[in-house]
Structure formats: C-alpha cells, structure tokens
Structure 1
Amino acid sequence: MLKLGWDLVWTIINLIVLYLLMKKFLIGPVLGIMEKRKALIESQLDNAKTVQEKAEELKGQYEQALSSAKEESVQIIEDAKADARQMSEGIVKNANLQAAKIIETAKNTAEQERENAMQGAKAEIAGLAMEAAKKLLLDGSSENGNRMLYDEFLAKAGDAHDTDLH
C-alpha cells in the first residue's frame, strides 16, 4: 500500500511551489506576451480594414472621375461637331449669297449691255431714217424714188442689225 511519509509530503509541497513559481514567472509572462500579440494583430487587422475601406472609397472616386471625364470628353466632341456644322453652314450660306450677288450682277450687266445695244440700234435706225428723209427732201418725192429709198433703208438697217448680233 501506499506509505505516507515525509518524502511524499515534501514532493507534493515541491510540486505546488514549482507550479506557483512557473505560474508567476513563466506562464504569466507568456500569457501576457500572447495577449499583447493578439491585441497587436487585432489592431493591424483594424488598420488593414481602414486602409482597404479608404482604398475602396478612392477607387470609387477615381471611377466616378473617370466616367465624368469620359462624359465630358463626349460632350466636348459633340460641341465641336455642332460648332463645325454651324461654321460649315455659315460658309455655305455666305458662298450662296456671294454666288447670288455675282449672278445678279451678271444679269444686270447683261441687261445693261442689251439696253446699250438697243439704244445703239435705235440711234442707227434714227440716223438712217434721217438720211432717208434728207435724200427724199433733196431728190424730190416720186413713187419710184420712195420705193428705192425704202429698199435702201431696209438694206442698211438689216446690215446694221446683222453687225450688232455678231
């Protein structure tokens, strides 16, 4: 059987003292270090979460700025196209107005030249009529002479008319 002696009591006391010393100097500091390490890891995880949230927020801002820049570039291109369209329409209108003015001036010039030609023809006819009247008065008036003057007048008027046309 078991014998309870002093050796057993001293062994139990030594074990209890050893346990208390290990708890105070070994287990306590190791647990303290482990708690500090756990707290450090948790704070680093919290910091990592904060940094990740900031990064996500910045990413959202950058994406929004990028989409805004794309929209702005599309708007700038549309505005430039509209301005170019307006400028081209203005240039075409201006060219049409100038062409119309040139055509109108050409018509007026042609009309003026026609009027001048008509005035010249009228003056020529009047001169021929005056010459015929003068010959009539100088030669006297006879049926045969009148017919000859009339034919001569028509011949000269026809020649004058033909030269004006060419």
Structure 2
Amino acid sequence: MAWHWESTVYAIIAFGILYWLLNKYAFGPLFAVMEKRRQLVLEQMNTAETSRKQAEQSMEEQKAALEQARKEAYAIIEQARVTSTKQAEEIVQSAKSEAARLKEDALKDIDSEKNKAIAALRNEVGGISVKIASKIIEKQVDEKSQEQIIDQYLKEVGSK
C-alpha cells in the first residue's frame, strides 16, 4: 500500500469545503435553533423564579392579612367584653339606685302613715280627754270613781 499525498490533499480540501458548507448551511441554523432553545430555557427559568418570588410575597401578604384579621377579631372580642361588663355594671348600678329610691319612697310612705296615725291618735285622745273631763264635771266624783271612768275609756279606746 502506497501512500499518496495527492489523495491526502484532496481529502483535506474536500473536508474544508464540506466543513465550510456545513458551517454555512447546517451549523448556522442548528446553532441558531440551539441558541433560541437556550434563550427560551433561560427565560422560563427567570419566569419561574419571578413567579416563585411573587408567590412567596403573596403568601407573606396573606399571612400578614390573616394576622391583622386575628388581631382585629381579638380587639373586637375584647371591646365586646369590656362593653358587656360596663353595661352589666350600669344595670346593677341602676337597679341599686332604683331599689334605694323605692326604699326611700317606702320610708316616706311609712313616715307619712305614722304621722297620720299619730295625728288620728291625738285627735282621739283629745276627744277622749274632753269626754272624760265632761264626765268628771258631771259626776263630781271621788278619786276612785275617776280612775274607774279613765280605765273604762281606755278599754273603749283599746277595743277600737
């Protein structure tokens, strides 16, 4: 087997032409498609990262909103508790003042009735005294009969 240098030169020239044709018509479009694919993958990765960050931010916002809602709910419950306690105290205080007023009215009524009874008793005692005096004047009796007359009238008053 003999080595022919012309064949080697032809093979190198053919390889160069083939490489140039492939580079011009095949590698260019192939590399362009691969570059587009690489750009698409990078873009999708960036979009996914942005979406992930937005999702995290949304989640943080939702957590903050939920925490704020909890705080507001606790504040409303506490305010309702304070309001109900205040209303209960107001109701108790109102009931106490109403009871005191009713007691005062009852004491005034009792005092009034007592004064009426005393006045009536004075009138009656006055009338009895007048009757006793008139009986004493009529009879001009001694001390023993005077005591009997007084006892008799006291029994009459006691039975009324």
| TM-score (norm: length of structure 1) | 0.86
Give the aligned residue type for 1:141. Answer: V
Q: 2 CA distance for matches of 1:157 and 1:38?
A: 128
Deviations 1:5-58 (A, max 9, x none): 645543332222112211221122212221221122112211221121122112
Instruction: Report if aligned partners of 1:132, 1:149 keep a CA contact under 8 Å in 2.
Output: yes
Distance 1:15 1:139, change over 3 A: same
Aligned counterpart, 1:164 = none
Aligned to 1:26: 26
* Deviation, structure 1 residue 158: 2.5
- Provide the C-alpha distance between the structure 2 equivalents of 1:136 and 1:52, rounded to a whole number of angstroms: 123
Work out the CA distance in 1 between the residues paired with 2:155 and 2:6. Answer: 177
Contact 1:136/1:146 (8 A) holds in 2: yes
- For 1:28 and 1:143, locate their aligned partners in 2 and report how far apart those are by CA, in whole Å: 160
Alignment of 1:159 with 2:159, yes or no, is: yes
Superposition TM-score, scaled by structure 2 size: 0.89
Aligned twin of 1:137: 137
Whole-angstrom distance in 2 between the partners of 1:76 and 1:146: 87
Q: Which runs of 5+ in 1 are unaligned?
A: 161-166
The equivalent residue for 1:70 is: 70
- Asked whether the 8 Å contact 1:129–1:153 carries over to 2, the reply is no
Alpha-carbon deviations, 1:100-155, whole Å to 9, x = none? 11111112211221221122122111111110101111222333432332222222
Residue 2 of structure 1 aligns to a residue whose secondary structure is coil
> How far apart are the structure 1 equivalents of 2:8 and 2:157?
169
Which one-letter code corresponds to 1:27 in the other structure?
Answer: F
Identity %: 29
Q: Separation in 2 of the partners of 1:90 and 1:5? A: 120
Equivalent residue number for residue 38 of structure 2: 38
Q: CA RMSD in A?
A: 1.8
What residue is the counterpart of 2:55 in the other structure? 55
2:96 aligns with: 96
Which shows bigger deviation, 123-132 or 2-11?
2-11
The runs of 5 or more residues in structure 2 that have no matched partner are none
Aligned residue type for 2:139: D
What is the Cα deviation at residue 68 of structure 1? 0.3
Aligned length: 160
**What is the match of residue 148 of structure 1?**
148
Alpha-carbon distance in 1 for matches of 2:20, 2:114: 137
**Separation (CA, whole Å) in 2 of partners of 1:81 and 1:144:** 82
Alpha-carbon distance in structure 1 between the residues aligned to 2:94 and 2:24: 102
